[in-house]
Each structure stands twice: as C-alpha cells, then as structure tokens.
Amino acid sequence: MLKFQKFVDLSLPLNSTTPIYPGDPEPNFSVATTLENDGYNLFNVNIGSQSGSHVDAPYHFNNEGRTVDDVPLSQCFGTGLVIDVTHKQSNEAIEISDIEPYASKISEVEIVLFRTDWDKHIGKDIFFEHPYLSADGAQYLIDMGIKTAAIDTINLDKTGGTEFPVHTLFAAEKGLIAENLCNFKAIDFENPIISVLPLNLTGCDGSPVRAVAIQCTNS
C-alpha cells in the first residue's frame, strides 16, 4: 500500500502582493458577498493566467502549441529530481556543467526542479535578477527526455530580455515549464512526487498551480 509521509507546499501565497513578471496583470481580490449581508462569503478574484506559482503551456510561446487544457496531466505529475544550483549568483546562467552530475538520475524521473533559493529575495529588486537556465542546458534536458522543468524563480529564462530561448525550446517539444515556485529547500527526501496540476482553463497559455512535493513509501 502506498503511504504518504510528507507534503511540501511549493506554491507562493497568491494575493495582491505576490510577485509577478513585469507587465503581467496584477492580482486583485475583493469581497463580492458576505455572510452577514448575503448568507455566504464570496470573493471576486482577478488574476493573470500566470499569476503566482504557475505553469506555462507550449501555447505561451508557440501559436500552434498546446494550450494548458490540452497538456497531458502526466506532464504535471510524476517523480522529481531537485538540482541544487544555490551557488548561482544574480543573472548567472545554469549551464550543462551544473546539470551533468545529475545525469544518471535525470533518466529516472519525469520532472526536474532547479533549486536556487531565490524566493528568499521576494520584495527586493534582486528578485528579478535571478539565475536562469541557459539554452544549452534546456536542450540538454530535452535530449535527456525531460518534458517538464520547474524553478523557484519568476522565470526559467533571463528576466528583462526580449528573447526567451528556453521557453521557445520547450514549447517546440510540447514541454511544460513551472515557475515562481518556492520552498525547494524543504524537499529533504529522495524521490519526491511532484504535482503542478493546472486549472482546466480553456484555450489559455498557462495557469496558476498549487505545487506540491510528496514523500511516499510502499508499505
């Protein structure tokens, strides 16, 4: 029998102060009804398709790519591998050489997570000057059969540029990207099960997610 031992929340709280990619819609929450006046509590929730912790479907960078409602759920749930790149500094690329030591394990998982611990900089300008995956690193993962990559920064590409090579590469291969996640340091166990299941948003480029890492054993 499968036994669940630990759940780790990898999602940022989603509210009006949640960091968003520059230029994206700002999250807005307001009271629609109250228990006292209407008999029940209800909120208006206005967010972008990539507010908070989220996934990017191929359509985000490819007009012919899958929208988030067409992404196979198998790409959003599976065994994960955390690659520790906490030594990376501001605007420093994650290269193939950072990934190669994990090569033997990459072939055994479905989802790769890059741990930068950059979520500790939320609220500071440096948060947007994060480490990012190089195009060569992205191609290396794709060649290794990885279709889903996640990171605890606001962008898997470099933020502030006009080109998004990692997104473009993954979109071309029907891949999925999860961004603006957090708390990777709490994944202190081997072989985590990772869930980044999106909302079933018709025709959209992405979706907020409640990302989790799960420790489980057979007993």
CA distance 130 to 70: 30
Per-residue model confidence (pLDDT) at position 15? 95
> pTM for the full model?
0.96
pLDDT, mean of residues 114-137: 97
Question: Residue 219: its pLDDT value, please?
Answer: 66
Q: 186 forms bridges with which residues in the sheet?
A: none
Q: What is the DSSP letter of 39?
A: S
Of the chain, the end-to-end C-alpha distance in Å amounts to: 5
Tell me: the pLDDT tens digits for 59-87? 999 999 999 999 999 999 999 999 999 99
Angle at 137 between CA 133 and CA 138, to 5 degrees: 80
Domains and CATH numbers, the chain: 2-17+49-218 (3.50.30.50)
Are 159 and 130 spatial neighbours (Cβ–Cβ below 8 Å)? yes
Query: Would you mind telling me the total number of residues written for the chain in this entry?
Result: 219
- pLDDT surpasses 80 at 1: no
